[in-house]
Amino acid sequence: MSRERIDLSRMFNARSIAVIGASSKKGKQGNTVVKYLLKYGYDGKVYPVNPQEKEIEGLTCYPAVEDIPGEVDLAIFCIPNSVVPSAAEQCVRKKVPFGVIWSAGFAEMSSDEGKKLDQELREICARGNLRVCGPNSVGMINVRNALVASFTTSLSTKERLILGRVAFVSQSGGTVASIIDDLLEKGLGFSAFVSTGNELNLTFSDYCLELLEYDEVKIIVGYIEGIRDGDKFIAAGRRARDMGKHIILVKGGRSNAAQEAVRSHTGAIAGSDGIYRAAFDELGIIQVNDIDELLDMVSLLSSEKESPVRFGSRTVVLCQGGGLGIQAVDAVERYGLIPAKMTENTRVEIAKRLPVFAGTSEHMVDVTPQLLGNKNNMGLFGEVLDLMAADPNVDVILFVQSSSEPTGGEIAEELIRYRDRSSKPLVLTWMALPKNAREVLQNGKIYVFPSQARAVQAITTLAKYKRQLPKLRTRVDAQRVKPRIAWPDVDLSHGPVVLTEDIVAPWLDPYKIGNAAARLVPNEEAAIKAGVELGYPLALKVIHKGLAHRSKYNLVALDIASEDYLRQKCRELAANAKKNLNIDLIDGFWVQQFRPKGLELILGGFRSEPFGHVMVCGIGGYLAEFFQPVYRLLPIDERETDQILDELPFLKKYPEEIDSDALKETLLGFSHLLMDCPWRQFELELNPVKVLQKGQGALAVDALAVIRK
């Protein structure tokens, strides 16, 4: 797939649209889209196409695309999948550059018929340079010019489109269509919408790169299940970052192990979610967990005043009633935010404006129903808000409110005035929101969160984003002298090939990766000789072509302290190979110096689509279940190794001071080794790497590689 950005301006700003399969029958998709274009004021030319119709919605209907007089910028396909290829052929002959194909039944189907149709359509489009949104798409919308090339029912009851600052790009059309429906109900609006469908020859990344260039688009919100063009996706993330714009995504399929980003033992810690998380963190993309969080984020940031970079961690609670406030303070701490500690001077000044029985603490202000129940007190309420915002220890105000039916409108108006004059964000929850307040807040584009938990989760997500901004990086592969490695010739004609420790271990020294001294020996007597040379204690492992995961088959012995014990273990391991794997004669033994102490880590890495080389670092042993590993897209530099150590929480809990300098050298060297591996698809694992006490180094004590086609 080409890495070049595709200019989609003629698609989003089409001046002439052919509706293939237009219909005069109410309820038909071909009728709905014509009505939408007319209803919302699209001022370009609309050409209905249907050989059975003469006129549709007052517009002349043409038998075929080729009968349309003049150029066509965009064709909308409202026809069954079986006739899409022939219609695409007509578009190619007409030199139509772009299309939107709603029809399903192509590559997303498991049937031979669907795959055949997909291939036929793909060839036609490639031959005629026809770029399409879809197939299997809900369509696209550009609000600025009222270009509605979609059949979504979200618009059926809406009298007008509202231009907003958020654009939607989604690999699930129905998912984001429901969010658009919600936004329009709230009067918030959006700037564009794209349902990418099967992404025949235009991808999620292509649409993002286009929409980022539009002045009205400040935020791109999306749902993805997978990215096909990692380079373009990274380019879009960097472009957004450079322009001061933001991308917020939900990643579907995060827990699906079947995606197989890695299939060696590293796969236990290197699922695809980790790869995407690494990409998002590097690019400054905000990731949310589900559609509810996405809806909250979009609604919160739809106001022109709000920006993700305004939200810090120090959150103070404002309430009308202590019970709600105490629960909110609990939620702030539970979600990992910092309960703000207002200064004594701030608390004294606030107390002067409240009833004598009002409660004010470092973390919370209870303004009481007595103050908010009187519309004449709104000025005092505004002063309290300003004092809280002026406190140097406060980043965000969380206002948790209950009914206040008589004065709800006045409270809402004061909140809008505060929002317009303040640099500190206010996040609002309001139980039993009265109608008079709802209307004011909706008109003022202040979002009311449905629960404290969702409000605090949104602050947490944005605060994390702000903390990460100084750490964002642009990957540069620094100039270095690559070690000369005798990479083995690998025959992949019969499937994946496992490279055992005796083959991989010699790669480590040239990359300054410490490893325990070892010998490959053919038999027991040679093992005894190696034991004399290496010194006890020893580790003993079976070496056999293609053999991985030796512990599973009892083919590893550790802490061997004597010659007699070494002989015993040589015989036991050979017998286990026969018993468990039916291997009559093993290739040999790996005799290795044994280091019993040290923090055990797993280093894994691979090259995989869509992001290229990825490195994973996590704790080894049983603790791996309790601590998330750290992922990095490569290359990295020395500064990045410091950040990796900062993101490994168990290092702070380890009882001894480890040799962090040696660990950082190992991380950097391993990243270079991964980058230099000559295969297109592979996995490489060092498990474990023992990090010793300060000044004693770090040693890889096992190594494995798997090479794939």
* % of the chain surpassing 70 pLDDT: 96
681-691 vs 599-608, strand pairing mode: antiparallel
Instruction: Evaluate if residue 248 carries a pLDDT over 90.
Output: yes
Instruction: Read off the pLDDT of residues 450-481 as tens digits, 9 standing for 90 and up.
Output: 999 999 999 999 999 999 888 887 766 668 88
Q: Is the peptide bond before 450 cis (omega within 30 degrees of 0)?
A: no
Instruction: Evaluate if residue 43 carries a pLDDT over 50.
Output: yes
The region, left, alpha or beta by phi > 0 then psi within -120 to 50, assigned to residue 395 is alpha
Distant-in-sequence, close-in-space partners of 599: CB < 8 Å, separation ≥ 6? 619, 651, 654, 656, 658, 690, 691
Distant-in-sequence, close-in-space partners of 247: CB < 8 Å, separation ≥ 6? 208, 219, 220, 221, 222, 236, 237, 240, 283, 285, 286
* % of the chain surpassing 90 pLDDT: 79
Q: Which amino acid is at 556?
A: V
**Count of beta carbons in the 10 Å neighbourhood of residue 520:** 18
Task: Compute, in degrees rounded to 10, the torsion defined by CA atoms 79, 80, 83, 88.
Answer: 50
Distant-in-sequence, close-in-space partners of 646: CB < 8 Å, separation ≥ 6? none
Instruction: Evaluate if residue 198 carries a pLDDT over 70.
Output: yes
Question: Is 166 in contact with 190 (CB distance < 8 Å)?
Answer: yes
Q: What is the pLDDT of residue 622?
A: 67
Q: Which amino acid is at 403?
A: S
Q: How far apart are CA 537 and CA 596, in angstroms?
A: 9
Q: How far apart are CA 252 and CA 106, in angstroms?
A: 21
Place of tokens 């991808």: 203
Question: Is 317 in contact with 330 (CB distance < 8 Å)?
Answer: no
Q: Bridge partners of 288?
A: 250
Q: What is the pLDDT of residue 2?
A: 55
Task: Report residue 448 as tokens.
Answer: 């009311």
pLDDT band at 21 (very low <50, low <70, confident <90, very high): very high
Task: Report residue 18 as tokens.
Answer: 């052919």
Instruction: Read off the pLDDT of residues 45-99 as tens digits, 9 standing for 90 and up.
Output: 999 999 999 999 999 999 999 999 999 999 999 999 999 999 999 999 999 999 9
Q: How far apart are CA 361 and CA 523, in angstroms?
A: 75
588-593 vs 518-521, strand pairing mode: antiparallel
Give the helix/strand (H/E) hosting 242: helix 230-243
Question: Is 598 in contact with 617 (CB distance < 8 Å)?
Answer: no
**Count of beta carbons in the 10 Å neighbourhood of residue 133:** 31
Mean per-residue pLDDT of the chain? 92
Task: Report residue 167 as tokens.
Answer: 């654009």
Please give the distance of CA 209 from its chain centroid, rounded to a whole number: 17
Instruction: Read off the pLDDT of residues 22-35 as tens digits, 9 standing for 90 and up.
Output: 999 999 999 999 99
Instruction: Evaluate if residue 269 carries a pLDDT over 50.
Output: no
For every residue of 636-670, DSSP letters joined together read: --HHHHHHHHHT-THHHH-SS-B-HHHHHHHHHHH
Place of tokens 């079986």: 82
Instruction: Evaluate if residue 621 carries a pLDDT over 80.
Output: no
Instruction: Read off the pLDDT of residues 523-581 as tens digits, 9 standing for 90 and up.
Output: 999 999 999 999 999 999 999 999 998 999 999 999 999 999 999 999 999 999 999 99
Specify the higher pLDDT residue, 181 or 522: 522
Q: Bridge partners of 632?
A: 615
